[in-house]
Amino acid sequence: MLSIRTYQTEVLIIGSGGAGLRCALELHDKKRDVLVVGKCEKRDAHTILATGGINAALGTMDPQDSWQLHAADTIRDGGLINNPKAVMTLCKAAPRAILELVTWGANFHREKNGNITQRFFGAATYRRACFIGDHTGREILNVLVDQVEQRKIPFLSQVYIFSLLHSSQGVYGAVGWDIRKGTFVVIQAKAVVLATGGHSRMFSRSSSRFWENTGDGIGLAYRCGAQFMDMEMFQFHPTGMVYPENAAGVLVTEAVRGEGGILLNTHGERFMRRYDPARMELSARDVVARAIYTEVQAGRGTQHGGVWLDITHKPKDYILQRLPKVYAQFQHFLGIDISKKPMEVGPTAHYSMGGLWTNYTTGQTSVKHLYAIGEVTSGMHGANRLGGNSLAEIMVFGRLTGEALARKVKRQRWRSLNKKTVDTLISTFSQQFKNKRGNDPLKVKQDLMQMMWEHVGVVRNGKQIAAGLQLLEQFKKTSLFVHGPLPMNAKLLAALDLQHMLPTCEMILKSALYRTESRGAHYRSDHPTILSSWRKNVYCTPTRQGLRLFTKPVAKIPNTIQRLILEKQPTTHLLE
């Protein structure tokens, strides 16, 4: 006997990270009915991994800073293909987001005079990242959850949404699986907001955790025929752990290089001299990532496919004071004292710049009644994300989408739940348990991520990508054997993840093949230069005949911002 719980809410928010919670608060305060669902625990969304800071041109340290300069830095670093309107909205509204967080109790680091401290992030003209120790994301999420609890906003944790309810009239709810109880959840809604985070787990080396950033929002929207943009744009952070296997990809903050850490290959050579002699280890993220990749490919890498990051020339006390988290990380995983031994590091998949297309002003996707906010969307960061901008984005667009939706859903009527559709979804889901043969979904997931890492990773080329697409066809045909006890079945969750990952991988591969130039994080060794003719966005839409890819030019950048982009050169500072 299947157990099904049903809910009705005006707005369903899928995702309880920063973006989802900020949106929920706005909807609640505008007197709308809202339900938040997350597949992890309440205070454990991916947002908590953010350490370094949140950008806002407050000018507390550098009064010359302005929202216009923030916008210019963002678009310049984004390879000039960001959505200019979205960037300007973000940069204007980011100071208000900081104020909101302060009002709600966020304890930002302050100067002796009481001003919020701001620090440099890579490619920022002035100091504009506000931070709370090295746990900015965790503090922001806690503050937002506290507010959600104070308002008693309904919240379902550990519920995995595996399908949206969708008809020709648009989206009207979702169906999920309660991971703890092993029961189904059916939610009817006037509108659905996807705040499901990014898709860095398409790659075997990733700074995310294994069970999140699996592209769920992308997969859910794909099956409703939504439009996506710039899926080829994926940021690889230069320094993640490469060893041991269970820690591979875990971020090693850029602060290590900011504090004087140097990169060495196995010959002991400080190889950044050959790639960027002026900025050395503090070069742009994509440049350092490609340099490390090239050293490893040329056989000058370490045993585990990385290079050495050495900070042993600094006193232990200094390291403990400045880099306590990295120190603890290497102690924990390897029992290594980084003041005595160098760290083995290599690039790791870090941030999804591409994703769902939205109009940004209201978060509306191309599908009726379906909205999206946060890392699941595209357009804000163009070809490269500026560190610190993502936390600002989730706060600003969480609020703006909440505001716009509150006005919309008030006038909107309910659509009735189609029982036949729900039954079909639940019985298709249950079929997975009936398969008596097939492959272990956990292993298939791992193999898929490895394929992506090898075929469309830090450096790509047409032949490799095309071969990756052929391999993807095999993955699509693989039958899965979901066995083991219920609930809390890791194999079942991996099988669900694969449903989202396969279309996400296909769009990344096809878009990467389509863009025949190199720009920002997208580097094609067979098309290594940036071409002005490619200053456009790549769109992807699922159709009955398969994926349709096309381009559209980027909107005009206003003259005031354009002038600043050309005038101001990014300075090299401590990077986080």
Ligand X SMILES: Cc1cc2nc3c(=O)[nH]c(=O)nc-3n(C[C@H](O)[C@H](O)[C@H](O)COP(=O)(O)OP(=O)(O)OC[C@H]3O[C@@H](n4cnc5c(N)ncnc54)[C@H](O)[C@@H]3O)c2cc1C
What does residue 190 show for φ and ψ, rounded to 5 degrees? -75, -35
Residue 452 CB partners (closer than 8 Å, separation 6+): 202, 203, 204, 468, 505, 508, 509
**Which position among 37, 221, 349, 449 is part of the footprint of ligand X (CB under 6 A)?**
37
**Which position among 11, 12, 13, 14 is part of the footprint of ligand X (CB under 6 A)?**
14
- What are 524's strand-pairing partners? 460, 527
Confirm or reject binding of residue 50 to ligand X (CB under 6 A).
yes
- Quick check: 263 and 272 in contact, CB under 8 A? yes
What does residue 449 show for φ and ψ, rounded to 5 degrees? -65, -35
Confirm or reject binding of residue 39 to ligand X (CB under 6 A).
yes
User: What angle, 0 to 180 degrees and rounded to 10, lies between the N-to-C axes of helices 136-150 and 389-411?
Assistant: 20
Cα distance between residue 53 and residue 61, in whole Å: 15
Binding residues for ligand X restricted to 110-139, rule: CB under 6 A = 136-137
Starting at the edge strand found earlier in the chain, the sheet holding 262-264 runs 234-241, 343-352, 307-310, 262-264
**Which position among 9, 10, 13, 15 is part of the footprint of ligand X (CB under 6 A)?**
15
Confirm or reject binding of residue 26 to ligand X (CB under 6 A).
no
Confirm or reject binding of residue 208 to ligand X (CB under 6 A).
yes
C-beta of 251: minimal distance to ligand X in Å? Answer: 4
C-beta of 557: minimal distance to ligand X in Å? Answer: 22
| Integer CA distances (angstroms), 182 to 154, 271, 498, in order | 20, 53, 19
Neighbours of 266 (CB within 10 A): 15
Q: Is 237 a catalytic residue?
A: yes
**Parallel, antiparallel or unpaired: strands 228-229 and 34-38:** unpaired
Segment (H or E) for 165: strand 159-167
Confirm or reject binding of residue 172 to ligand X (CB under 6 A).
no
Site string for ligand X, 186-205 (x = CB under 6 A): ---------xxx--------
Cα distance between residue 381 and residue 571, in whole Å: 19
**Which position among 256, 391, 396, 465 is part of the footprint of ligand X (CB under 6 A)?**
391
Of the listed pieces 47-55, 227-235, 405-413, 506-514, which binds ligand X according to CB under 6 A? Answer: 47-55
How many chain residues are in contact with ligand X, going by CB under 6 A? 42
Of the listed pieces 265-273, 326-334, 383-391, 541-549, which binds ligand X according to CB under 6 A? Answer: 383-391
Confirm or reject binding of residue 319 to ligand X (CB under 6 A).
no
- Quick check: 383 and 541 in contact, CB under 8 A? no
C-beta of 53: minimal distance to ligand X in Å? Answer: 5
**Which position among 89, 147, 207, 283 is part of the footprint of ligand X (CB under 6 A)?**
207
C-beta of 425: minimal distance to ligand X in Å? Answer: 14
Confirm or reject binding of residue 185 to ligand X (CB under 6 A).
no
Query: Could you please report the per-residue DSSP string of 309-353?
Result: EE-TTS-HHHHHHH-HHHHHHHHHHH---TTTSPEEEEEEEEEE-
Confirm or reject binding of residue 272 to ligand X (CB under 6 A).
no
**Which position among 11, 27, 35, 47 is part of the footprint of ligand X (CB under 6 A)?**
47
Of the listed pieces 44-52, 76-84, 99-107, 438-446, which binds ligand X according to CB under 6 A? Answer: 44-52
**Which position among 79, 355, 382, 388 is part of the footprint of ligand X (CB under 6 A)?**
388
Neighbours of 437 (CB within 10 A): 7
Confirm or reject binding of residue 184 to ligand X (CB under 6 A).
no
Task: Pick the closer one to ligand X by CB: 49 or 334.
Answer: 49
**Which position among 251, 480, 492, 513 is part of the footprint of ligand X (CB under 6 A)?**
251
Q: Which of 540, 462, 502, 466 is nearest to 202 (CA)?
A: 502
**Parallel, antiparallel or unpaired: strands 4-14 and 183-194:** parallel
Confirm or reject binding of residue 239 to ligand X (CB under 6 A).
no
Q: Is 522 a catalytic residue?
A: no
Task: Pick the closer one to ligand X by CB: 239 or 464.
Answer: 239
- Quick check: 174 and 461 in contact, CB under 8 A? no
Instruction: Return the structure tokens found at 370.
Output: 């379906």
Catalytic residue among 32, 166, 205, 257: 257
What does residue 89 show for φ and ψ, rounded to 5 degrees? -60, -45
**Which position among 28, 32, 51, 252 is part of the footprint of ligand X (CB under 6 A)?**
51
Catalytic residue among 119, 205, 237, 500: 237
Residue 44 CB partners (closer than 8 Å, separation 6+): none
Confirm or reject binding of residue 354 to ligand X (CB under 6 A).
no
C-beta of 177: minimal distance to ligand X in Å? Answer: 9
Task: Pick the closer one to ligand X by CB: 125 or 208.
Answer: 208
Chain residues binding ligand X by CB under 6 A are: 14-20, 37-40, 45-47, 49-54, 136-137, 160-161, 195-197, 207-208, 212, 216, 251, 350-351, 374-375, 387-391, 394
Q: Catalytic residue positions?
A: 237, 257
